[in-house]
C-alpha cells in the first residue's frame, strides 16, 4: 500500500513521519513518534485511553487516520507538563490517588484538561459526563472526580 | 534469621499516612512503560488465528501459503509446541488453551500464530492459513452441560459419582451438622434458585508481551503480568526450557484483577521467537481479550435456608453450579467454600459443581467465585428476614460468625471483622437516610480468604543513606507506596528516602503472584524483617565506628545510640552517617528476607446500597453506595479506599450490566466495550468507604489483605436494593432493564 508523508505539530514540536495510508494516529504516535504515553485499550473508540487533542478538540486517536493530521496540531499527555513542572491536574491525580494501575490516566488527564479549559468550574455531574468516554476499571472514578474538582479549584486560584 | 509474625500493636509514625506514590510522576506524564510500550531491534509482530467455532475437530492446518508470504518469519501450530508436560494434566490444559491441539473448544480458541515484519504482513499471513474444521455439537449453558446427552467436552473427565464420561469435572461437598435436623427445627424455610452470567475482568490494558528466545534456549520476556515468577516457570515448562535461563520482567500492569495470573499468548510469542530467532511482540486486541482470555463462570445456584421466628438460622443448603470453560478448574469448589462463610450456622451443606462448557477457560477474577455465591446466599438471607418480619441487618447480626465459629469451609475463626462491619453498617447514617419513590435500599455481606505465600525482598542501603527496596510482587494498585512506608517506618527514616522497585526474575528468589490480596500483606511482612535485619548490620557497623560493644547499641529514630555506663554523652550515629562509612566498615549494608507468609487474615465486608429503578424502562441507577470493610491495618489508606471503591464499582457493573452473551452457535456476541458495558463515570455516585481495623493476629502490623473482598457483596446488595425498590425478588444477574421488566411482568 502506498505510504503518506505527514508533517504535523505535536506538543509544540514539528514532527514528520511516513506511514501507510490506513494507519491510525494512535499507531503512528506510539510506534513512529515514540509517544507511548498514548494508550490503546480497545482500538474502537470505546475506552478513551488513546485520547489526544487535535487542533484543541478531544479525539480518540484510534479513530483518526494519520493521513488526516497533516499540518494540524496535536497534543498528548507527554505535552502536559510545562517547564519541568507538572500540570495541576497531574499533581492532583497523584495527590488524590486518582490512579491505581494508571493505564487510563493519560486519557483522563487529556480529557479533563479539555473540560477545565472549556468550563473552569464544572459541577460533579458535568465532570462525570465529560469523562464518560474514558473507562477506568480500577478506581470506581471516585478519586478521579475529586482530583479533577481539586485541580479546577487550583487552576481558578492561579488565574485570579 | 528467625522472625516472629505475631501482631505487636507497635506505634506508627508513617504507617497510616497518605504520601504520594513513588511511581506517580511516571504515570501522569506517560513515561511509565506497560506491556505494549517497549520494542526491541529487529522485532516482529506476532498475531494469532482463532477458531470461529465453539466446538470443532481440526482436520488439517495448511500453513504453506502463509509461510511463503514475503515478510513472514515464522508460522506456528500445535506441532511447534510439543507436549513437554510429562503427564501433568493441568499443565497440558494450559498448553492446549494457549494453542488448540486437534480440536477447537471455544469461539476464539487459538489455532495458529504468525510472526512477520509488520502488522499488515502478519494480518495477510493469517488470511493465508487454511484450516479445515469439522463442526461438533457444542454446549455453553451450565445447566444444559450437566444434562444426559449433552455434548462431552473432555473425554478424560468422568462424573465422580457414576464414573461415566461427563462434563462434571469436580464435585465438592462441604459443611457440618445435620441439615435435615436443622430444617426440621425451622419455623420457616425459603428455597430459591439464582442465575448469574459470565463476566470479564475488563482490565483496560490488553495482554501484551515482548519475547526473545534464542537457539541456545536462553530467553527474555517483558510482559504485563501479576506474577513474573509464575509466568517464568509455566513458560519454561511448556517450552522445555531451563527456568533459570528465562528472564521475565513484569512491565507496569494496566489492571489484572486475576486475569493476568494466567498465560495466554506468552508461550506463543516465545515459540515464534524461537522459530524466527528474532524478538516477537504480541498485543492482544480487545476482541481477543474478550473472546479468549479469562472470563468468570456463569452460575446456576439453588439455595434452601431455614429460620426460627427468633431469627436463628437453623440450616442452610446450597447447590452451586459453576461453568469452568473447556478445561477443568475448581471454581464451584471456591463458591461452595465461601458460600456461608459470614455466618455461624449449626447445620450447613454447600455442594459445588464444576462444569465444562464450550467457553474460554475460566480465570480468576477478584475473590474468584465468591460474588455469585454471595448473591444467592445474601438474597436468601433477605428473604428469610422478610418472612419473619425482622430487619435484614438484625438477622445478619444475630447469625454473624465470630471468633470461635466454625467456617463453612472447615477451620475455626480467630478474631474476625464480620460483626464489627455489620454494627458499623447498622450505625451508618446511610442506613437511616430517607428513600424516595421507586428507590430501594439493600445490603449484603461478603467474605474472602486472602492468601500469603512465598515472598522475598532485598533492601539495599546506598552510601548516601537512601534505601532501595526490591520486591517480587507486582504493584497492581499502589503497593510500592505502602512498602516504602513500611521500610521507612522500621528504619526510622523519611518516606522519601526509600525507593521501592519491582524486581525481575533474575534479581530475586521466587515470589508468588500478586493474587489472593497478598501483595502488601506478604511483601510487607518480608520488608519488616528485611529492614530489621538491615538494622542489625547498621548496629554492628555503628559499634565499630563508636568503639562500643554491640550489646550497648540500640536503634532509635533512625539512629544508632550507645546506652549504658560511659556512653551517655556519645552522639548517636544516623543511618546516613553509618551508610557513608560503609565502604570502610565492611562493605554494602543490606537486609534480606525470605518468608512463606502464612496466616493471611480472612476479610469481611458489609455494603449498603440505594438504587432508583425506572418502572417504565427497567433501568437502574445506583444513587448511594457505602463500603465498610475490615483491613486489619491500612498501611496507605488512600489505596485501601481505592481497593474498596474499585471492587464495588466492578460489582455494580456485574450486577446491572455486564454479561458475555453467547448465541445459539456458541459464538460470543459482544466482544467489545461498546456492548460489554462496564460502568462509566456518569453511571456511578461517589463511593463512600469506612475502613475498620481489626488486627490480624498473625502479622506484626495486623495487616489483612484488602484487594478482593470489596467485589463480593455488591451483586447481592444491589439485588436486594432492586428487589426492595420494585417489590419483586430479583434472581438473575445482571439485572438489565429487560430482566427487570420481565420480572415485573411475571410477578
Ligand atoms: S483505544 Fe481508542 S478509544 Fe480505546
Ligand atoms: S487506574 Fe487502572 S484503569 Fe484506571
A-interface mutation test, from B30, B257, B365, B622, most A Cβ less than 10 A away: B30
pLDDT for the residue A1: 55
Grid cell at residue A79: 505535552
DSSP three-state, residue A50: coil
- For domain B24-32+452-597, say whether CATH 3.30.365.10 is its number: yes
Task: Give the mutation target among A41, A97, A103 for probing the ligand 2 site: most ligand atoms within 8 A of CB.
Answer: A103
Question: Which of A41, A109, A100, A139 is CA-nearest to residue B676?
Answer: A41
The pLDDT, as a whole number, for residue B521 is 85
Confidence band (pLDDT; 50, 70, 90) for B740? very high
pLDDT range class, residue A28, cuts 50, 70, 90: very high
Dihedral sign computed on CA atoms, order A143, A148, A149, A154 = positive
The secondary structure element, H or E, covering residue B103 is strand B103-104
Q: What residues in B contact A143, CB-CB < 8 Å?
A: 638, 641-642, 645
CATH number of B299-450+601-746: 3.30.365.10
B521, HSE (Cβ side, Cα atoms, 13 Å): 35
CB of residue A45 inside a 6 A radius of ligand 1: yes
Q: What's the fold here for domain B44-136+202-292?
A: Aldehyde Oxidoreductase; domain 3 (3.90.1170)
| Ligand having the closest approach to the CA of A39 | 1
CB pairs under 8 A between A and B: 183
Query: Cβ(B592)–Cβ(B469) under 8 Å?
Result: no
Band of pLDDT at residue B79, cut at 50, 70 and 90: very high
Mean pLDDT, rounded, for B377-389: 98
- From residue B247, how far is each of A56, B473, B520 by CA, in Å? 44, 15, 24
Sketch the domain layout of chain A as residue ranges.
3-79, 88-159
Chain A residue with the nearest C-alpha to that of B645: A140
Q: Which residues of A touch B477 (CB under 8 A)?
A: 100-101, 138
Q: Closest Cα of chain B to A129: distance in Å?
A: 5
List of E strands, B535-577: 553-556, 559-562, 573-574
What is the tens place of the pLDDT at every residue in B402-448?
Answer: 999 999 898 999 999 999 999 999 999 999 999 999 999 999 999 99
Per-residue pLDDT tens over the stretch B212-233: 999 899 999 999 999 999 999 9
B24, pLDDT greater than 80? yes
- Separation of CA B23 and ligand 2 centre (Å): 14
Helices (H), B592-734: 637-656, 714-726
Contact A41 B204 (CB under 8 A): yes
CA–CA distance from B185 to each of B182, B458, B640 (Å)? Answer: 5, 58, 42
Distance (Å, whole) CA A141 – CA B272: 39
Partners of B286 on chain A (C-beta within 8 Å) are 41-44, 46-47
C-alpha grid cell for residue B410? 472447615
Residue of A50, A92, A100 to mutate when probing chain B, most B C-beta within 10 A: A100
> In the prediction, which pLDDT does B210 show?
98
Long-range contact list for A10-14, CB < 8 A, 24+ apart?
A10/A35, A10/A74, A10/A75, A10/A76, A10/A79, A11/A74, A11/A75, A11/A76, A11/A78, A11/A79, A12/A79
- What whole-number percentage of chain B has pLDDT above 70? 100
Burial class (CB in 10 A: 0-12, 13-18, 19+), B313: buried
Helix B228-239 and helix B89-98, axial crossing angle in degrees, nearest 10: 90
Query: Does residue B642's CB lie within 6 angstroms of at least one atom of ligand 2?
Result: no
Ligand 2 center to B255 CA (angstroms) = 7
Homologous superfamily, domain A3-79: Beta-grasp domain (3.10.20.30)
Counting Cα atoms < 13 Å in the Cβ hemisphere of B479 gives 28
Query: Are A102 and B27 within 8 A, CB to CB?
Result: yes
Query: pLDDT tens for residues B577-620?
Result: 999 999 999 999 999 999 988 777 899 999 999 999 999 999 99
User: Tens digits of per-residue pLDDT, A113-141?
Assistant: 999 999 999 999 999 999 999 999 999 99
Answer yes or no: is the C-beta of B177 below 6 A from any ligand 2 atom.
Answer: no
Measured between alpha carbons, how far is B23 from B562 in angstroms, rounded to an integer? 38
- The percent of residues above 90 in pLDDT, for chain B, comes to 93
A88-159 and A3-79 share a CATH fold: no
Confidence of residue B4 (pLDDT cuts 50, 70, 90): confident
Predicted confidence at residue B2, as pLDDT, reads: 58
Nearest-Cα residue of chain A relative to residue B648:
A140
Q: Is the CB of A133 under 6 A from ligand 1?
A: no
Bridge partners (DSSP) of residue B499 are: B468
Q: How many CB atoms lie within 10 A of CB B22?
A: 20
**pLDDT tens digits for range B629-671:** 999 999 999 999 999 999 999 999 999 999 999 999 999 999 9
Query: Residues 6 or more apart from B715 whose CB is under 8 A from it?
Result: B196, B371, B372, B374, B375, B444, B651, B654, B655, B733
Q: Residues near A47 by Cβ (< 8 Å), separated by ≥ 6?
A: A41, A104, A107, A134, A135, B204, B286, B673
Do B299-450+601-746 and B44-136+202-292 fall under one CATH topology? no
Residue B1, pLDDT score = 45
Chain B residues 247-306 with a CB less than 8 Å from chain A: 252-257, 283, 285-286
* Mean predicted lDDT score pLDDT of chain A: 96
User: Looking at beta carbons, which residues of chain B come within 8 Å of A136?
Assistant: 204, 681
Nearest CA to ligand 2 atom 4: A136
DSSP B669-686: S--STTTS----GGG---
Class of domain A88-159: mainly alpha
Q: Does residue B107 have a pLDDT over 50?
A: yes
DSSP-based three-state secondary structure for B363: coil
Q: Which three cell numbers stand for residue A127?
A: 465532570
Give the pLDDT of residue B291: 98
Burial classification of residue B581, based on how many CB atoms lie within 10 Å of its CB (0-12 exposed, 13-18 middle, 19 or more buried) = middle
Ligand 1 mean position to B30 CA, how many Å? 16
CA A60 to centroid of ligand 1, rounded, Å: 6
8-state DSSP, B155 = T
Regarding pTM above 0.95, the answer is: yes
Provide the chain B residues 22-61 that lie in CB contact (below 8 A) with chain A: 23-25, 27-34, 36-37, 39
Give B547-575 pLDDT, tens digit per residue: 999 999 999 999 999 998 888 789 999 99
- Residues of chain A with Cβ-Cβ distance to B27 below 8 Å are 99, 102, 105
Determine whether the interchain pair B286/A41 forms a contact, defined as Cβ–Cβ distance below 8 Å: yes
B45 pLDDT above the threshold of 70: yes
SS3 (DSSP) at B323: strand
* 0.85 surpassed by complex ipTM: yes
B646 vs A100: CB contact, 8 Å cut-off?
yes
Give the model's confidence band at B38: pLDDT under 50 very low, under 70 low, under 90 confident, else very high.
Answer: very high
Residues of B in contact with A134 (CB under 8 A): 680-681
Contacts A109 to B, Cβ<8 Å: 28
Do the Cβ atoms of A20 and B205 come within 8 Å?
A: no
Q: How far is CA B15 from CA B494, B612, B703, in A?
A: 12, 39, 11
Q: Where are the domains of chain B?
A: 24-32+452-597, 44-136+202-292, 299-450+601-746
Cell of A3: 505510504
User: Which residues are CB-neighbours of B720 under 8 A, at least 6 positions away?
Assistant: B378, B379, B382, B392, B440, B442, B443, B444, B609
Binding site membership of A137 for ligand 2 (Cβ less than 6 Å): yes
Nearest Cα of chain A lies from the Cα of B427 at a distance, in angstroms, of 23
Q: Which residue has the cell 439493600?
A: B442
Amino acid at each position: 500500500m502506498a505510504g503518506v508523508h505527514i508533517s504535523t505539530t505535536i506538543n509544540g514540536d514539528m514532527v514528520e513521519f511516513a506511514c501507510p495510508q490506513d494507519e491510525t494516529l494512535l499507531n503512528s504516535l506510539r510506534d513512529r513518534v515514540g509517544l507511548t504515553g498514548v494508550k490503546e485499550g480497545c482500538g474502537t473508540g470505546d475506552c478513551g485511553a488513546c485520547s489526544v487533542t487535535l487542533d484543541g478538540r478531544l479525539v480518540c486517536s484510534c479513530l483518526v487516520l494519520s493521513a488526516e493530521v497533516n499540518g494540524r496540531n496535536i497534543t498528548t499527555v507527554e505535552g502536559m507538563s510545562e517547564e519541568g513542572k507538572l500540570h495541576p491536574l497531574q499533581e492532583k491525580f497523584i495527590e488524590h490517588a486518582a490512579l491505581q494501575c494508571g493505564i487510563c490516566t493519560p486519557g483522563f488527564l487529556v480529557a479533563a484538561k479539555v473540560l477545565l479549559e472549556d468550563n473552569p468550574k464544572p459541577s460533579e455531574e458535568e465532570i462525570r459526563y465529560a469523562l464518560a468516554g474514558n473507562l477506568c476499571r480500577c478506581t470506581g472514578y471516585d478519586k478521579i472526580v475529586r482530583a479533577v474538582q481539586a485541580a479546577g479549584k487550583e487552576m481558578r486560584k492561579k488565574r485570579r | 534469621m528467625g522472625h516472629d509474625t505475631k501482631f505487636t500493636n507497635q506505634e506508627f509514625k508513617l504507617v497510616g499516612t497518605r504520601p504520594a506514590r513513588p511511581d506517580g510522576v511516571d504515570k501522569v506524564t506517560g513515561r511509565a512503560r506497560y506491556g505494549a510500550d517497549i520494542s526491541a531491534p529487529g522485532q516482529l509482530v506476532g498475531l494469532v488465528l482463532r477458531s470461529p467455532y465453539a466446538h470443532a475437530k481440526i482436520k488439517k492446518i495448511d500453513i504453506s501459503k502463509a509461510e511463503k508470504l514475503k515478510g513472514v518469519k515464522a508460522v506456528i501450530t500445535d506441532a511447534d509446541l510439543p507436549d513437554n508436560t510429562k503427564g501433568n494434566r493441568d499443565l497440558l490444559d494450559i498448553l492446549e488453551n494457549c494453542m488448540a491441539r486437534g480440536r477447537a473448544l471455544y469461539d476464539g480458541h487459538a489455532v495458529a500464530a504468525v510472526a512477520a515484519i509488520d502488522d499488515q504482513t502478519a494480518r495477510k499471513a493469517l488470511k493465508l492459513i487454511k484450516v479445515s474444521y469439522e463442526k461438533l455439537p457444542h454446549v455453553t449453558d451450565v445447566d444444559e452441560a450437566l444434562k444426559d446427552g449433552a455434548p462431552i467436552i473432555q473425554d478424560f473427565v468422568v462424573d465422580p459419582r457414576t464414573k461415566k464420561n461427563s462434563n462434571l469435572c469436580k464435585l465438592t461437598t462441604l459443611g457440618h451438622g445435620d441439615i435435615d435436623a436443622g430444617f426440621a427445627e425451622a419455623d420457616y424455610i425459603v428455597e430459591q434458585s439464582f442465575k448469574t452470567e459470565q463476566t470479564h475482568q475488563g482490565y483496560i490494558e490488553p495482554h501484551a508481551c515482548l519475547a526473545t528466545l534464542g537457539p541456545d534456549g536462553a530467553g527474555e520476556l517483558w510482559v504485563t503480568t501479576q506474577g513474573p515468577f509464575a509466568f517464568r516457570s509455566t513458560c519454561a515448562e511448556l517450552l522445555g526450557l531451563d527456568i533459570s535461563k528465562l528472564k521475565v520482567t513484569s512491565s507496569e500492569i494496566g489492571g489484572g484483577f486475576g486475569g493476568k495470573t494466567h498465560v495466554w499468548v506468552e508461550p506463543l510469542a516465545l515459540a515464534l521467537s524461537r522459530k524466527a530467532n528474532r524478538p516477537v511482540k504480541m498485543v492482544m486486541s480487545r476482541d481477543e481479550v474478550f473472546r479468549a482470555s479469562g472470563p468468570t463462570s456463569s452460575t446456576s445456584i439453588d439455595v434452601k435456608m431455614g429460620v426460627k421466628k427468633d431469627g436463628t438460622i437453623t440450616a442452610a443448603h446450597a447447590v452451586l453450579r459453576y461453568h469452568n470453560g473447556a478445561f477443568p478448574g475448581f471454581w464451584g469448589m471456591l463458591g461452595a467454600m465461601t458460600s456461608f462463610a459470614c455466618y455461624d450456622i449449626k447445620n450447613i451443606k454447600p455442594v459445588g459443581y464444576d462444569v465444562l462448557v464450550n467457553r474460554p477457560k475460566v480465570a480468576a477474577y477478584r475473590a474468584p467465585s465468591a460474588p455469585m455465591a454471595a448473591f444467592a446466599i445474601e438474597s436468601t438471607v433477605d428473604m428469610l428476614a422478610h418472612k419473619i418480619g425482622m430487619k435484614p441487618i438484625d438477622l445478619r447480626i444475630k447469625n454473624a460468625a465470630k471468633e470461635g465459629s466454625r467456617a463453612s469451609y472447615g477451620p475455626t475463626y480467630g478474631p474476625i471483622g464480620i460483626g464489627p462491619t455489620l454494627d458499623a453498617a447498622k450505625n451508618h447514617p446511610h442506613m437511616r437516610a430517607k428513600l424516595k419513590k421507586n428507590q430501594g435500599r439493600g445490603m449484603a455481606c461478603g467474605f474472602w480468604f486472602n492468601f500469603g505465600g512465598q515472598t522475598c525482598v532485598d533492601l539495599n542501603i546506598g552510601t548516601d543513606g537512601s534505601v532501595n527496596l526490591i520486591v517480587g510482587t507486582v504493584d497492581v494498585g499502589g503497593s510500592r507506596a505502602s512498602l516504602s512506608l513500611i521500610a521507612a517506618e522500621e528504619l526510622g527514616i523519611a518516606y522519601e528516602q526509600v525507593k521501592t522497585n519491582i524486581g525481575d526474575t533474575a534479581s530475586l528468589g521466587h515470589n508468588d503472584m500478586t493474587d489472593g490480596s497478598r501483595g502488601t500483606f506478604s511483601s510487607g511482612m518480608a520488608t519488616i524483617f528485611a529492614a530489621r535485619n538491615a538494622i542489625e548490620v547498621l548496629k554492628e557497623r555503628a559499634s565499630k565506628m563508636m568503639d562500643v560493644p554491640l550489646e550497648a547499641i540500640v536503634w532509635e529514630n533512625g539512629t544508632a545510640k550507645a546506652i549504658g555506663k560511659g556512653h551517655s554523652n556519645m552522639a548517636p550515629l544516623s543511618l546516613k552517617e553509618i551508610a557513608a562509612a560503609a565502604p570502610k566498615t565492611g562493605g554494602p549494608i543490606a537486609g534480606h528476607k525470605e518468608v512463606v507468609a502464612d496466616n493471611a487474615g480472612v476479610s469481611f465486608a458489609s455494603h449498603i446500597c440505594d438504587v432508583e429503578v425506572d418502572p417504565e424502562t427497567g433501568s437502574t441507577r445506583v444513587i448511594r453506595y457505602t463500603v465498610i470493610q475490615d483491613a486489619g491495618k491500612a498501611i496507605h489508606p488512600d489505596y485501601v479506599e481505592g481497593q474498596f471503591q474499585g471492587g464495588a464499582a466492578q460489582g455494580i457493573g456485574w450486577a446491572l450490566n455486564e454479561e458475555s452473551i453467547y448465541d445459539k452457535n456458541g459464538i460470543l456476541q459482544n466482544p467489545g466495550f461498546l456492548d460489554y458495558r462496564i460502568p462509566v463515570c456518569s453511571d456511578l455516585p461517589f463511593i463512600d468507604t469506612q475502613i475498620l481495623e481489626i488486627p490480624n493476629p498473625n502479622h506484626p502490623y495486623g495487616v489483612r489483605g484488602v484487594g478482593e473482598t470489596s467485589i463480593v457483596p455488591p451483586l447481592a446488595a444491589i439485588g436486594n436494593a432492586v428487589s426492595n425498590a420494585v417489590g419483586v425478588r430479583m434472581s438473575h444477574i445482571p439485572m438489565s432493564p429487560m430482566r427487570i421488566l420481565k420480572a415485573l411482568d411475571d410477578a
